[in-house]
Amino acid sequence: MTPEQIVGQRAPRQDALAKSTGAFIYGMDFQLPGQLYGAILRSPHPHALIRSVDASRARALEGVEAVLIATDLPAGLLMPGVVWDQPLLASDRVRYHGEPVAAVAARTPELAQQALDLIAIEYQPLPAIVDAESAMAAEAPLVHEAWVSYRAEEGLLRDRNVCCHASLNKGDVEGGFASADEIIEGTYTTESVHQSHVEPRVATAVVLGGEVPTVYTNTQLPYWIRTNVAHALGVPEEGVRIVPTGVGGAFGSKLYPQIEPITALLSRAAGKPVRLVVPLSDELIAGLPRHPTKTRIKTGVKRDGTLVALQATMYMDGGAYTGSTPEIASVAVLCLAGPYTTPNVHIDVHGVLTNKTNFGAYRAPGGPYSVFALETHLDEVAARIGVDPLELRLKNILADGGEAANGQIVTSVGLREAVERATQAIDWHTPAGPNRGKGLSLGWWTTTLQLSTSEALVDENGKVVVRVGTNEIGTGAIMGGVRQVAAQTMGVDIDDVVIDVADTLSGLWDWGSQGSRTLSNVGRAAQFACQDLRLKILSLAEKVLETERERLDLAGGEVYSIDNPSERITLKALAQRAPAGSLRSRAESNAEPATHDKSRLTSCLYPAFHHPSFHCHAAEVEVDPGTGMTRVLRYAAAHDIGRAINPTLIEGQIEGGVMQGIGMALMEEVLYDERGVRTNINWTDYKLPTIADLPEIRAIIVEHPTNLGPYGSKGLGESPVLHPPAAVANAIGAATGKRFRSLPITPERVAMASA
């Protein structure tokens, strides 16, 4: 594939071959000789005081080489975050079912399990707070009695169980309601859903005296893991080496240092490498799944379909620790506003602590439940005034140069095109048949920014090596997209570029593979590094070919004289003549965030969507009125991603996100009993979509380039999960005449609504 054509092509990924043959090494496959096996003992209670812990029998068990309980750690050690409220191991109380209380390392996994069974803990169970709204009541018991004393980010509004309160105010909602012809209200609830990556979470730590503490982990964010491991070990960050392994799916779950710090401490205590795998049941009990939410929306609309006022209040169940909830609440604010021109908007999102697992970032955190609430609500608005849901949207969506609710001006707005193409693809205006219905959902989403660092070099074989500081988690952003960008920038064949994921000793600081940022930011840094490397190559070639740099070009893996093309030299030959280390460039990407109107936002840690993407999904479903089973027939998903670096990778993100969203819409639900104990803790009872649930999915690429990512690209990885719950719910509503305001819309709920 010639260099001029690489960007925009369906090029194969660097890692596909090894993944197809089973040769690729994931975290789960990574082993070290002499390793011990770690295991974590977790609380069976959602809320309890710890009266006593006796680990003596575990310590005495032959083959057990380290046992850690809270008293083995520095007293009062809390882990860094927006609020420093979380210990590594619970000490005086446990706050959620599955909270880590102890950890062991032993010679075999069976011995490790036996050691856990020998740790005697006396719990005094306490009533658990299991509902966010009631946790806000004045008389509600506190999840954290010492909440006032915690170190917290400035500007965060906290009050007892409320760990954050993000709000947006634009215009005057009361005035808006007064001017409305119709006012529609609704309450929408969603349960938690779990990332359910097919590869478990696993880390192998080597913390031996005199050596650099090292943790091999299938992480999405090596530098945050480094911060936490260093903090746990009490050593400077730069002295800790985090080595990213292959990752078998992440979706936000593997951003968090769930096991690396404790594994590092086990290794240090034992003086040997320790490998710790989180079994699926533990992951389902105590991972970081999506926040449960309850949202009240009130809309004022004119008879002609103009939205005049939107008021939304969301209660976001944050679980037992603050974690990412404040930032996610802020994102929810922007999703609840939607990409609409509504002149009067007031939104409150309360992040509330309860005795459940601390909910965290799952692909588009803050997104799907907000879009579900808003977009199903808007269908109700359309129904009230007798307008086609599509017409209502088209009348109120932002266009290029428009102002979003937070005051940011949006450009490169491919929204109308996305809406038109998605709805056309399922023949929106043709009535669906009996028991069938069509629904749509639209929205906007961010391209997270922050720092990415990349290094590009030419090795002695003339290959371009691009080193990055974050991991390929499966999307292909790094092993596919960044590679194509680098190849095109360098004017070499794609097979002459090697992408190397570097460990943290490289210093290639990166904000990670998250937030739809990877290709745009890592690719941008790689592009800058390659551009600089090009200059160095041309400067070196200037001497070798005795031709001015401006009259030289680099293409097809060779530098040649523009005026006399037979004067040329291959990169390999050039590299062999280069002084050691000279053909190497390092560059950063740290793009400017979007500006917004600060006066409209309070305590919003994520105040704007940078280089936003715009998207619309349209679904056609058929509902079996007797059984209530919904079959999604056709599904169109149109995404404005700026510029398509690789259509196959883009379609892959869209199709994958759509199925995750269909799971959330129809079958996935993290269940607790009335005491706050997790009930469905295996994949037998936490149902994931299988290939049998697959509709005909049409992924539609819309391109309105922006000036962020390479060649005008903007983020994509998350937005596909935003819309399926709303699009499918709206379609089911059209098919059955019944509105479903909570998820998942199971066959039982549909059948019993009509029975």
The distance of Cα 725 from the centroid of its chain, to the nearest Å, equals: 17
Would you say 510 and 223 are in contact if contact means Cβ atoms under 8 Å apart?
yes
Residues 180-209 that bind other proteins (CB under 8 A): 195-200
Would you say 292 and 690 are in contact if contact means Cβ atoms under 8 Å apart?
no
In the complex, minimum distance from the CB of residue 384 to other proteins, in angstroms, rounded to a whole number: 31
In the complex, minimum distance from the CB of residue 514 to other proteins, in angstroms, rounded to a whole number: 15
Q: What share of the chain is helix, strand, coil (3-state, %, to 5)?
A: 30, 25, 45
In the complex, minimum distance from the CB of residue 196 to other proteins, in angstroms, rounded to a whole number: 6
One of 120, 148, 409, 671 touching other proteins (CB under 8 A):
671
Nearer to other proteins, 105 or 381 (CB): 105
Stretch that binds other proteins, among 11-19, 41-49, 331-339, 457-465 (CB under 8 A): 11-19
What single-letter DSSP state applies at residue 86?
Answer: B
In the complex, minimum distance from the CB of residue 610 to other proteins, in angstroms, rounded to a whole number: 25
Residues 353-382 that bind other proteins (CB under 8 A): none
Helix H or strand E segment including 103: strand 100-106
In the complex, minimum distance from the CB of residue 689 to other proteins, in angstroms, rounded to a whole number: 7
Nearer to other proteins, 63 or 747 (CB): 747
One of 465, 655, 742, 753 touching other proteins (CB under 8 A):
655
Nearer to other proteins, 408 or 746 (CB): 746
249 touches other proteins by CB under 8 A: yes
Stretch that binds other proteins, among 14-22, 136-144, 313-321, 591-599 (CB under 8 A): 14-22
Which of 313, 382, 377, 303 has its CA nearest to residue 173?
A: 313
Structure tokens of 743? 């998820």
**Reduced 3-state DSSP string for 451-505:** CEEEEEEECCCCCEEEEECCCCCCCCHHHHHHHHHHHHHHCCCHHHEEEEECCHH
Would you say 73 and 55 are in contact if contact means Cβ atoms under 8 Å apart?
no
Nearer to other proteins, 394 or 694 (CB): 694
> Residues with Cβ < 8 Å from 588, sequence gap 6 or more?
451, 452, 453, 454, 525, 528
Residue with tokens 């009535």: 431
DSSP code per residue over 170-184: ES-HHHHHHT-SEEE
Residues 675-714 that bind other proteins (CB under 8 A): 679-680, 682-685, 687-694, 697, 699
- CA–CA gap between residue 697 and residue 420 (Å, rounded): 16
Residues 261-290 that bind other proteins (CB under 8 A): 280
Nearer to other proteins, 300 or 661 (CB): 661
742 touches other proteins by CB under 8 A: no
107 touches other proteins by CB under 8 A: no
One of 349, 658, 677, 732 touching other proteins (CB under 8 A):
658
Residue with tokens 């079912």: 97
> Residues with Cβ < 8 Å from 529, sequence gap 6 or more?
454, 455, 456, 466, 585, 586, 587
108 touches other proteins by CB under 8 A: no
Cα end-to-end distance, the chain, whole Å: 60
One of 3, 6, 15, 273 touching other proteins (CB under 8 A):
15
Would you say 552 and 561 are in contact if contact means Cβ atoms under 8 Å apart?
yes
In the complex, minimum distance from the CB of residue 455 to other proteins, in angstroms, rounded to a whole number: 25
In the complex, minimum distance from the CB of residue 47 to other proteins, in angstroms, rounded to a whole number: 23
Instruction: Please state whether beta strands 558-561 and 307-319 pair in parallel, antiparallel, or not at all (unpaired).
Output: unpaired
Count of residues touching other proteins (by CB under 8 A): 72
Nearer to other proteins, 326 or 480 (CB): 480
Residues 29-48 that bind other proteins (CB under 8 A): 29
One of 1, 24, 80, 403 touching other proteins (CB under 8 A):
24
One of 313, 590, 648, 742 touching other proteins (CB under 8 A):
648
One of 17, 148, 212, 535 touching other proteins (CB under 8 A):
17
Stretch that binds other proteins, among 1-9, 484-492, 524-532, 650-658 (CB under 8 A): 650-658
In the complex, minimum distance from the CB of residue 290 to other proteins, in angstroms, rounded to a whole number: 14
Residue 752 CA: distances (Å) to CA of 565, 629, 745, 749: 76, 11, 11, 5
Residues 599-628 that bind other proteins (CB under 8 A): 626-628
